[in-house]
Amino acid sequence: MLSNEQIAFIQQNSQANPTSLRLKYGKEKEFVIAQIEARQKARTKLPSWCAEPRLIFPPAVSVEQSSSEATAHYKADIMRQTASTTVIDGTGGMGIDSYYFSKQFESVTYIEQNEKLVERARHNFNILNTPNIECICDDTIAFLQRLKAKVDWIYVDPARRTADQRRVVGLGDCEPDVTKHLALFLEKAHQILVKVSPLLDLTQTLLEVPQITAVHVVAVENECKELLLEIGTNASDVVIKTVNFKNDGSQQIFDFYRSEEPDAAVTFSMPLQYIYEPNAAILKAGAFKTAASKYQIAKIAPHSHLYTSESLVQLFPGRTFELIATVKADNKALTPYLTNGKANLTLRNFPGTTDELRKKLKLKDGGDVYLLATTLANTDKRLLVCRKVKD
């Protein structure tokens, strides 16, 4: 529990530099300085928790690894779509997911091996008035092996670091190993939701775990944050659901069946008046042809993953640009279209790196002009000089 004095210190120094505070106060104030540091990390992703001064946060690194409020709410909504009442959060951690599950389920069991995290979660859940969460300090697999009743959902976010702190990606390399214990999970729950690394090879994972019924690709401000696997016993065609949460509170949603992509009809065109760049969730999901087919727009080239149309397509799930010119990738051709040498540069199927091309073109970052460096259907390497169309 935080004392009134500690709460006051945290609030008075909420904007202060933690390093400066440590130099000034030393070890005497380490606990409250760590709280300030963690709250600063959580300010954007966990605004409602930061608004409650009595909550105790884990170390800043744990906050960075935790779900955001938007993604935790999304997971709770996935589970709410079925007539479910009970859920086990097998990797409780900071407790953000359990907290949002508690708003949708009658009973939530939070399981965590780290005793200190369990103590803090129990304290925070009490402050947040969530009596339907039971906190248990235990190993998830051991707990499930003793469990008698079957629950509606089990949620796990397996640790993606080994004992020697190496980062791993594969489902079978994480802890707990869902592939190894899948029979146990399916024995103890009707459905399973697993959070995995955004770097995971989806095609390979779908082959390894044929019980996957749905994949959710979750992005926040066009950065892919989470892959969520729904696992059940009646898997047929896998539905892939993508969502991109934007800072204004809106969502870009695009869903498709995995079987649609190989045979989706697609045409190719030189750049027309409008250019479209799918968001990161769609690109990760591999909906390259399906996106073109569903929005009836042409691809610029087979592997460029930029799209074009003569008429504006409203509410495309990504960025939309109006084309000003198509030019060669050299400074002389580009200069007439720039103000003070400024532009926002993106590479799509173009050799080299963004930094290398920016240096070659002598660009300053920023301004209202957007440059899409890409390869056209005729294999020409070109810069698409654009202005962004407002959402």
Q: What is the pLDDT of residue 80?
A: 86
User: Is the distance from CB of 333 to CB of 361 less than 8 angstroms?
Assistant: no
pLDDT at 159 over 90: no
Mean pLDDT of 167-184: 77
Tell me what percent of the residues of the chain surpass a pLDDT of 70. 95
Give domain limits for the chain: 4-64, 66-235, 262-388
Q: What is the pLDDT of residue 248?
A: 87
pLDDT at 192 over 80: yes
Question: What is the sign of the dihedral through the CA atoms of 24, 27, 32 and 38?
Answer: positive
DSSP letter string over 34-90?
HHHHHHHHHTTT-HHHHT-TT-----HHHHHHSPPHHHHHHHHHHHHTSS--EEEES
User: Is the distance from CB of 318 to CB of 311 less than 8 angstroms?
Assistant: no
* Residue 129, both tokens: 């008035």
- Identify whether 176 is preceded by a cis peptide bond (ω within 30 of 0): yes
Mean pLDDT of 176-193: 92
Q: What is the pLDDT of residue 169?
A: 58
Q: Give, in order, the Cα–Cα distances in Å from 254 to each of 132, 257, 278, 319.
A: 34, 11, 10, 14
Average pLDDT, the chain: 92
CA angle 91, 97, 101 (to 5 degrees): 115
Read off the pLDDT of residues 232-286 as tens digits, 9 standing for 90 and up.
Answer: 977 678 999 999 999 888 999 999 999 999 999 999 999 999 999 999 999 999 9
pLDDT at 384 over 90: yes
Lowest mean pLDDT among 12-26, 155-169, 230-244: 155-169
Decide yes or no: CATH 1.10.10 for domain 4-64.
yes
pLDDT class of 198 with cuts at 50, 70, 90: confident
- The CATH classification of domain 66-235, taken from the options 3.40.718.10, 3.40.50.150, 3.40.50.12280, 3.40.50.2300: 3.40.50.150
Helix 18-25 and helix 30-42, axial crossing angle in degrees, nearest 10: 170
* Residue 182, both tokens: 């899948």
Report the distance separating Cα 288 and Cα 299, nearest Å.
9
CA dihedral 201, 202, 204, 206 (to 10 degrees): 160
Q: What is the pLDDT of residue 166?
A: 64
pLDDT at 162 over 60: no
pLDDT class of 21 with cuts at 50, 70, 90: very high
Helix 30-42 and helix 4-12, axial crossing angle in degrees, nearest 10: 50
Mean pLDDT of 116-144: 96
Report the distance separating Cα 215 and Cα 255, nearest Å.
10
Q: What is the pLDDT of residue 174?
A: 67
Read off the pLDDT of residues 56-75 as tens digits, 9 standing for 90 and up.
Answer: 999 888 888 889 999 999 99
* Residue 41, both tokens: 């990390």
User: Is the distance from CB of 219 to CB of 225 less than 8 angstroms?
Assistant: yes
Read off the pLDDT of residues 205-221 as tens digits, 9 standing for 90 and up.
Answer: 888 888 999 999 999 99
Q: What is the pLDDT of residue 114?
A: 92
3-class SS of residue 28: helix
Read off the pLDDT of residues 344-360 as tens digits, 9 standing for 90 and up.
Answer: 999 999 999 999 999 99
User: Is the distance from CB of 34 to CB of 59 less than 8 angstroms?
Assistant: yes
pTM: 0.90
pLDDT class of 168 with cuts at 50, 70, 90: low
Q: HEC string of 179-212?
A: CCCHHHHHHHEEEEEEEECCCCCHHHHHHHCCCE
Q: What is the pLDDT of residue 161?
A: 62
